[in-house]
Amino acid sequence: MSAKLTTTQKVTFLPDINKPGQEQTSPWSRMQKKGKETETAQPAKSQTPTVSKDEIALFRNSVRQNACVEMLRGGFHRSFSELFSLLQRWKEIRLAAGPGSAIWQHKSLEEQPAKLHTLRHYLTKAETALRAGAWSAVYDQQVFLAQYFREPEDRWLSCHFYQTSLNSARRVKIDGGRKEAEALANMGQVYMEQGQLDSAREQYECFYQLTAGRAWRSEGGRSLHCQACEGLWRVYTQLAERPLQANDYRAAIDTLSKAFQMAKEGEGDQCVALQIKLTKCSHSINTCLSVCLSSLAGDHRIEGEAAYRVGLAYQCVGDQVTAKRFLNMYMEMSTALGDAGGLGKAYKAIAKSLESEGKLSETVQYLEKFAEVSQGNNQYHNLEEACMCLGVIFNSRGQYERGCTYFERGYEIARDLEEVPLLQRAQVFVGSARAYSMIRKYSRSVETASHSDLLLLTAWKESRQNVFTDTTGSAEGKI
């Protein structure tokens, strides 16, 4: 029992006033303490949401300022200067162009936060790589950025990044200049798009020299050297346009032959397309063309194509005999290859030359062959063309009925093809052919004005049927 007593706690009745450092127990202080406890008991339920300084800055400052400050805080001062100068340059270009130009309506980069963020991200990555001295990584980032800005209004950005990528590619020493070659190719393309042909030519020539003898391949599997050749071919072809238009044939031939060299060295397909250009400007066609043809021996299809174009060229010049010779060659090769389309083209071309020679019956023959082949091949356009040509020939010879049938056939095909210009043309021809076939008898009926003729005329007016040819078919025979 006494043990029980001693274990119970001793609680004094009155508070101890003598102990120092005792907590205040007045009602006011107790109320305050309770208040503080309740406050601390709910730390999560604060009245106002706390916002960090960064979030305030994001809200208050412009997008451009936020991007710049972010970059500077990380120490990326080069990215900052690049972005800043790009934005500045855009503003200057826009001001210089003045209101009313196309660029005035474009949104600036500052109003497109997504683009700004991408720029910032990749520029900072490039700078980290630069600090580490890894120039190839820098090059990759810049090429990515150049390809990101594909829209026409961001062309200038893309161009800028291609240029910077070329500079950083030049610093890459370990891979023997491959990145530099790629960068040169990109720059060449950019200049071509902008129309600066001379700068494009320089870039492509450097590219060509770098890739000469190296077996580098791009991601698509195509050899870089072939790309160089193709690029140079295109540049030369475009460079030759100007002297051609100015009728300066010498210069044009020089440039075009350089282009031809490139095309040959590349993959040979483009050679064919060059020949028309060459023939247009050359007076000494034979030497030119024979050179072209002889160099192309081997691939029958290409040779056939070449022959076809040569034939066409001769047609243009007016030498139909040689043209027909070449076209016959093409025809044979096409038949040998089973190329119905080519055969059709050959027939058409031959028919054309025969027409210009004036041998209409043979023309008709060939055109019919053309029509057959096209029909067999389901080449409706060609078929329609064939019918039209035949109709025209018959018209010119006076055989309006046959012409009319062919025209109607052409009209039906055009209708099936649902091509309005062809349809309209066919309609016109059909109408005119029918008119021609009726005109003589109609005018005679009008002149004689006998009772039967008048009946015929009124019947025609009512029904618009071709009543004349039926009754006077025999009459024509008589006349």
Nearest distance in Å: CB 180, other proteins? 24
Instruction: Give the closest residue to 233 by CA, choosing from 294, 188, 196, 194.
Output: 188
| Contact residues: other proteins, CB under 8 A | 53, 65, 68-70, 72-73, 75, 77-78, 80-81, 84-85, 131
| 3-class DSSP string for 382-424 | HHHHHHHHHHHHHHHHCCHHHHHHHHHHHHHHHHHHCCHHHHH
Identify whether the C-beta of residue 147 lies closer than 8 Å to the C-beta of residue 139: no
Q: How far is the CB of 41 from other proteins (least distance, A)?
A: 32
What is the chain's alpha carbon radius of gyration, rounded to the nearest angstrom?
43
Residue 57 or 439: which CB sits closer to other proteins?
57
Nearer to other proteins, 72 or 428 (CB): 72
Closer of 79 and 379 to other proteins (Cβ): 79
Of the pair 82, 305, the CB lying nearest other proteins is at: 82
Nearest approach, Cβ of residue 116 and other proteins (Å) = 14
If we measure between CA atoms, which residue out of 92, 249, 242 comes closest to residue 156?
92
Closest CA to 259 of 243, 271, 244, 248: 271
For other proteins, give the closer residue by CB, 68 or 423. 68
In the complex, minimum distance from the CB of residue 127 to other proteins, in angstroms, rounded to a whole number: 9
- Counting DSSP H helices and E strands in the chain, the numbers are 24, 0
Report the distance separating Cα 132 and Cα 329, nearest Å.
Answer: 65
**Could you tell me the smallest distance in angstroms from the CB atom of residue 138 to other proteins?**
14
Q: State the nearest-atom distance from the C-beta of 203 to other proteins, in Å.
A: 28
Closer to other proteins at the Cβ: 22 or 81?
A: 81
3-state helix, strand, coil in the chain (%, to 5): 80, 0, 20
**In whole angstroms, how close is the CB of 295 to other proteins at the nearest point?**
50
> Nearer Cβ to other proteins, position 75 or 341?
75
Coil/strand/helix, residue 138: helix
| CA distance linking residue 288 with residue 279, whole number of Å | 8
At 464, the amino acid letter reads R
Choice between 56 and 246, CB closer to other proteins: 56
Closest CA to 153 of 199, 99, 94, 81: 94
In angstroms, what is the minimal distance from the CB of 63 to other proteins? 13
What region, left, alpha or beta, does residue 214 occupy, with left being phi > 0 and alpha being psi -120 to 50 degrees? Answer: beta
> Closest separation between CB of residue 112 and other proteins, Å?
19
d(CA 426, CA 61): 68
Cα(184)–Cα(202) distance, integer angstroms: 9
Q: How far is the CB of 172 from other proteins (least distance, A)?
A: 20
Tell whether the torsion through CA atoms of 225, 231, 234 and 239 is positive or negative. Answer: negative
CB-nearer residue toward other proteins: 81 or 108: 81
Give least dist CB 122 to other proteins, A: 18
Beta-bridged to residue 223, according to DSSP, are 217
Nearest distance in Å: CB 58, other proteins: 12
Residue 69 vs 206, nearer CB to other proteins: 69
How far apart (Å, rounded) are the C-alpha atoms in residues 94 and 454?
78
Q: How far is the CB of 108 from other proteins (least distance, A)?
A: 15
- Shorter beta-carbon distance to other proteins: residue 84 or 436: 84
What lies within 8 Å, CB to CB, of 343 at 6+ separation is: 331, 334, 335, 373
User: Is 365 exposed, middle or buried, given 0-12, 13-18 or 19+ CB atoms closer than 10 A?
Assistant: middle
d(CA 107, CA 161): 20
CA distance 203 to 255: 17
Nearer to other proteins, 33 or 77 (CB): 77
Nearer to other proteins, 75 or 431 (CB): 75
Measured CA to CA, the distance from residue 276 to residue 250 in angstroms comes to 16
